[in-house]
Structure 1
Amino acid sequence: MSAAVSRPGWKRLLVPLLLALLVYAFWSTIFVWPLRLFVVLLHEVSHGLAAVLTGGRIVSIELSPREGGLCTTAGGWPFVISSAGYLGSALFGALFLVLGVRGKPRMHRTVAALLGLALLALTLFYVRSSFGFVYGLVAGALLLAVARWLPEGASSFVLRLLGVTSLLYAPWDIASDLILRSVPASDAGALARLTGIPSIAWGVLWLGASLVIAWRAVRLGVRS
């Protein structure tokens, strides 16, 4: 095996692989539901970040227990904002996975704490739905608790779990909402109205991009 992709590198992915199998096996259960909600929140936050980065602002974020979400923005570039949801959640997942398998445990604790603080701040300033507000506060507090009081390995586990779930959820959500069925109010529907390109074309493009992101995350995770 080459030096770039060594056997110890692949061993780092054993835990994420087991987590992926468990998440998939229990996908439709209450155990994975909070994780799926977290990815939905990442999706909406990605829309908001795209708005801010293109000169706009976040007005509000909503999250429902049925895994629905809405990020209302003002200004910014609609093309980038509409594209950012699915791709942003996949990129967040890749970041969490790579950090979780390559970083040091102490760094994992710091990242978990920063993630918890960011989630609390976003919730307090932007989340307006009652369920989303409670979920954001609880999730942020749990991340801080993991970083503060549990062993460093717990933060590593959480980052890998969030990364795996995000990378699984993004392509599944794209296929479900944009390819297997048509949802007019979807992100791809918004892009179809902006560009005249059918929403299914955007769905296929985003699905391919999310799979490439997942594959690159795996490659970075095993690189020595």
Structure 2
Amino acid sequence: MNDRSMRRFRFLAAFGVLFLTVWFLWNTPFVYPVKLFVVLLHEISHGLATLATGGEIVAIEITPLEGGLCRCPGGNAFLTLSAGYLGSLLWGGLMIWGAERFPAFSSWLAAAVAVIVGTSTVLFVQQPFATTFGLAFAAALLAVAWRAGASVNRVVLTMLGLTSCLYAVLDIKSDILDRPELASDARMLAEMTGVPTLLWGGAWISVALLFCIFLFRWAWRRRLTAGGYGSRSSHSSGS
């Protein structure tokens, strides 16, 4: 097996293991905290869109049943409602991109994610469950960033990013396409714009799938040119 084939095999094996781990453990306690983390990112995305368009964040809520709510009056309602699922995709993509693009700094990137979660929890979360979860998750991720090496943090970031992207796709399908009667972001957009809920869901899931395909192709090409897991020399430059 030549070097190019070996890199291709390592990439597919590493990605496959991460994907199958998340997929088969999806409804288990192992992935549950990560799913709550993604729900929190979803609500933070709503809040950031509101802040960026002149509104404010009053409170962010998440529930043990993976529900979430961002009380964020003002701002541009269209952008705020659209930012939830698309924001989860963007967060996931940024974590995967950061882990691939700057592997030597994966510990710092994981610490940055922990700081974002912890700060958002302190500033905007008021429920006991959500506060406990946000601070505990931030502390655990910060401990991994501090104590584990860059290679471990790279895997952690990739798994968090993969789960965030996958959760966005599955959530759009479950909450919008399968049950359009639910009070979802798409339902509220439909009431505001007159465009049916299913069309919003179809548009968002199309964007999500295209984004995931693009991200996979980018990572695939990067691994073939920069080397696979375990390669140090070419990654250390951050090229």
- The residue matched to 2:72 in structure 1 has which SS? strand
Map of 1:199-218 to 2, 5 A cutoff?
199-218=197-216
Query: TM-score, normalization: structure 2?
Result: 0.87
How is 1:63-74 mapped onto 2 (pairs within 5 angstroms)? 63-74=62-73
Q: Does 1:90 align with 2:99?
A: no
Structure 1 counterpart of 2:62, which letter? Answer: L
Aligned counterparts of 2:177 and 2:213: Cα–Cα separation in 1 = 21
Give the drift of 1:81. 0.3
Following superposition, the deviation at residue 9 of structure 1 comes to 6.3
Residue aligned with 2:58, SS: strand
Q: CA deviation at 1:149?
A: 1.2
Give 1:48-127 correspondences, 5 Å limit. 48-105=47-104, 107-127=105-125
More RCO (CA 8 Å, sep 6+): 1
3-state secondary structure, aligned to 1:142 = helix
The offset of 1:10, in angstroms, is: 6.9
**8 Å Cα contact 2:103/2:150 also seen in 1:** no
- The root-mean-square deviation of aligned C-alpha atoms, in Å, is 1.7
What residue number does 2:165 align with?
167
Bigger mean CA offset, 43-52 vs 179-188: 179-188
Residues 114-153 of structure 1 aligned to structure 2 (within 5 Å): 114-153=112-151
Tell me the alpha carbon deviations over residues 123-168 of structure 1, each in whole angstroms, 9 at most, x when there is no partner.
0010112111000000111111111112222211110110111111
Superposed displacement of residue 102, structure 1: 3.2
TM-score for the superposition, normalised by structure 1: 0.92
Number of residues of Structure 1 aligned to a counterpart in Structure 2: 219
Name stretches of at least 5 consecutive residues in structure 1 with no aligned partner: none
* One-letter amino acid of the structure 1 residue matched with residue 214 of structure 2: R
AA in 2 matched with 1:153: S
Q: CA deviation at 1:7?
A: 6.9
In structure 2, the residue matched to 1:20 is 19
Query: Residue 102 of structure 1 contacts residue 221 of structure 1 at CA under 8 Å; is this kept in 2?
Result: no
CA shift in 2, pair 1:76/1:104, >3 Å:
same
Rg larger in 1 or in 2? Answer: 2
Structure 1's 195 and 223: CA in aligned 2 closer, same or farther, altered over 3 A?
Answer: same
Runs (4 or more) in structure 1 with deviation over 3 Å come to: 5-14
Aligned-partner Cα distance in 1 for 2:9–2:108: 25
> Percent identity between the aligned chains?
42
Deviations, residues 107-131 of structure 1 (Å, cap 9, x unaligned): 1111111111111111001011211
Partner in structure 2 of residue 37 of structure 1: 36
Residue of structure 2 equivalent to 1:190:
188
Q: 8 Å contact 1:10–1:222 — kept in the other structure?
A: no
